[in-house]
Structure 1
């Protein structure tokens, strides 16, 4: 998958993860999309380390599930960090 395809995957995965997560995380849409790209990287790393499946093809279901799962993890961590700093 090319750079632009990976970037698009991360942006969409971040938006889906934001829609899935309940509550209100800090940051706007730009922060969410950037965290989605980071989450797609994390999901690809975890998928290749644990399951032997990485982010190979743009239209693969495993690619999307790994990217969205990674984005959810990153958004949860970001939510915990921003919640602590707001207190």
Structure 2
């Protein structure tokens, strides 16, 4: 049940990450949602393994947003279109 919650929060995190990230993103809603889910999973897994937080808490949400923003920036860097001549 814990990982299902991480998945659901990841969708919300993806939307928030897209709002926070500057510039136009090459991906749509589905890509952003998947990046949010991935950021949430990575932040939860790493944070719990490093004993930064327990199984629940607000730190998960903030770390998930940070992870999703980082993944979104990497995605934008890899797949963004450069329209400069």
Same fold (TM over 0.5): yes
Gaps of 5+ in 1: none
In the TM superposition, what are the counterparts of 1:1-87 in structure 2 within 5 Å? 2-48=2-48, 52-54=51-53, 56-57=55-56, 60-83=57-80, 86-87=81-82
Gaps of 5+ in 2: none
After the TM superposition, which segments of 4 or more aligned residues of structure 1 sit over 3 Å from their partners? none
TM-score (norm 1): 0.80
Residues 68/55 of structure 1: CA separation in 2 closer, same or farther (3 Å cut): farther
Is the contact between residue 10 and residue 33 of structure 1 (CA under 8 Å) also seen in structure 2? Answer: yes
TM-score (norm 2): 0.81
Is the contact between residue 10 and residue 40 of structure 1 (CA under 8 Å) also seen in structure 2? Answer: yes
- Aligned-pair RMSD on alpha carbons? 1.9
Deviations 1:47-74 (A, max 9, x none): 3455x225722xx210111111111111
Residues 68/2 of structure 1: CA separation in 2 closer, same or farther (3 Å cut): same
User: How many Å separate the matches in 2 of 1:55 and 1:12?
Assistant: 21
Larger Rg: 2
Q: How many residues align?
A: 82
